[in-house]
Amino acid sequence: MEVFGLWLAAFFTLGIISFLYKDNPWYKFSEAVFIGISAGYWFVVSFWDNLYAKFYLGVTANDDYMLFVGAVLGAMMILRLAPNIGWISRWPLAFVVGAISGFYLMNYFSSNVMKQVQNSVIPLFSADYGQSMFTESFGTIAGKIVIAAGTFTGLIYFFFSKEHKGAFGGAAKVGIWVIMITFGASFGYTVMSRMSLLIGRMDFLFGQWLGMIK
């Protein structure tokens, strides 16, 4: 049985890779199977984990009747199909958007603004508060200056209320340069991870399936 599974997996792997050559029936078959199976997979995972585990067990096991609010809102979402009272589906949607806005607002603000600003407040020329000056290597001190100046000018680039002209425009230009270095760095890292994925698949084809690799 295991061998059959290996060949099936290899069949689909080669089917998807064939898209690189051209859109062909082998690829279309693999694509069709993938769309059907993946839609089914997420439906099942969501059914067992959310509907069964969270809702059904939530109500029966620890009598959390508040969960019915979720079920009612969910049922309203389905009512969109009903011709005349389709507009009722806006209520659960309003609930979702309200909850997400409220939660995200505080979460993003405390972790991304408060924490990051707190960590930007660092002495430039010494390791940390209370240590002597110029003890660190040239690279670290230059790094700290770049961090403080880069964050500052990066924020200037995102400023909406002032035209990027004159000194302000200059600072914004430095800001976009720093942001471009950040994009370059994550581009480099992304290339690395994509290549590892390909290596993983090739290891499957030539290693597990054909057994040609030590």
Partner 1 sequence: MDCTGKSQKYTYIAILTLFLSLLLIISSANAVNSEVLVEDTTSAFIPNAPTYVTATDYKYDRGESAIVKWQLSSDDNSTGKITGYEIFRSEADADNFVSIGVVLPGENSFRDKSTENGVSYIYGVVTLYNGRTSQMVLSEPITPGTEIVNWNLLNLFIIGLLIAGSVIFFITHAKRGKKLFIRKIAGLEAIDEAIGRATEMGRPILFIPGINDMDDVQTIAGITLLGRVAKVVADYDIKINMPVARSIVMTVGRETIKEAYVSAGRPDAYSDDMVHYITDEQFGYVAAVDGIMVREKPATCFYLGAFFAESLILAETGNSVGAIQIAGTAMPAQLPFFVAACDYTLIGEELFAASAYLSNEPKQLGSLKGQDVGKFMAMMAIALGVFGATIAEAWGGSFFIWLDEFMHRLFTITN
Partner 2 sequence: MKKQVPLTITFIVGVVLILSVFFPPVETWGEDFSLFFDIIAVFAFFLGGGNLIRVHTERIAKKKKDWGFSIITILGFLIMLAAGLFKLWNPGDISADVAATGSLFQLLYDWMFNPLGATMYSLLAFYVASASYRAFRAKNRDATILLIAAFIILLGRTPLGMYATGWIPESFSVLQIPNLAIWVMTSPNLAGQRAIMIGIALGVVAMSLRLILGVERTYLGMDID
Partner 3 sequence: MNKKELVAVIIIVALSLIFYFGIKQPIVFSSTVSYIITALIGLVLLYIFIRTVGGKIFGRRTVFLFVGIAVVLPFFMTIKQPIKSSPEVKSLYDAVLALKPDSKVLVSFDYDPPSAPELQPMAESFFMLCFERDLKLIIMGLWPQGPQQAEMALQRAFLEPDIAAKNLKYGVDYVNLGFQTGNEFVIQRMGSSFKSMFQTDYYGTPYDDIPLIRNVTNFSNIDFVFNLSAGYPGTVEWVQVAVDRYGVKLGAGNTAVQAPQMYPYLRAGQLVGLLGGLNGAAEFEKATNIIGKGTKFMVSQSFAHVIVIAFIIIGNAAYFLGEKRREENKPNQTGMNNQPGAN
Residues counted in the chain: 214
Binding of residue 80 to partner 1 (CB under 8 A): yes
Question: Measured from the CB atom, is 52 or 187 closer to partner 1?
Answer: 187
Pick from 8, 35, 43, 49: which binds partner 3 (CB under 8 A)?
49
Of residues 95-154, those binding partner 3 (CB under 8 A) = 107, 110-111, 115-116, 119
Cα(174)–Cα(183) distance, rounded to whole angstroms? 14
Among 34, 47, 200, 208, binds partner 3 (CB under 8 A): 200
Is residue 11 within 8 A of residue 34, CB to CB? The reply is no
User: Are the CB atoms for 213 and 203 separated by under 8 Å?
Assistant: yes
Report CA-CA distances (Å) from 93 to 19, 24, 65, 162.
Answer: 38, 40, 21, 36
Residues 111-170 that bind partner 1 (CB under 8 A): 113-115, 117-118, 120-126, 129, 133, 148, 151-152, 155-156, 158-164
**For partner 1, which stretch binds (CB under 8 A), given 37-45, 47-55, 60-68, 202-210?**
37-45
Q: 92: exposed, middle or buried (C-beta count within 10 Å: 0-12, 13-18, 19+)?
A: buried
**Contact partner, 124, from partner 1, partner 3, partner 2, none, Cβ < 5-8 Å per class:** partner 1
In the complex with partner 2, the residue whose CB is nearer, 111 or 131, is 111
DSSP annotation of 133 reads B
Q: Site for partner 3 (CB under 8 A): which residue of 33, 75, 105, 202?
A: 202
Structure tokens at 34: 């993938």
Q: In angstroms, rounded to a whole number, what is the distance separating the alpha carbons of residues 3 and 140? A: 55
Binding test (CB under 8 A) with partner 3, winner from 1, 20, 66, 167 = 20
Residue 12 binds which entry of partner 2, partner 3, partner 1, none, with Cβ cut-offs from 5 to 8 Å by kind? partner 2
Choose the binding region for partner 1 from 3-11, 49-57, 62-70, 89-97 (rule: CB under 8 A): 89-97
Residue 10 interacts with partner 3 (CB under 8 A): yes or no:
yes
At 58, the amino acid letter reads G
Query: How far apart are alpha carbons 199 and 192 in whole angstroms?
Result: 11
Would you count residue 208 as binding partner 3 (CB under 8 A)?
Answer: no
195 binds partner 1 (CB under 8 A): no
Distance CA 13, CA 57 (A): 39
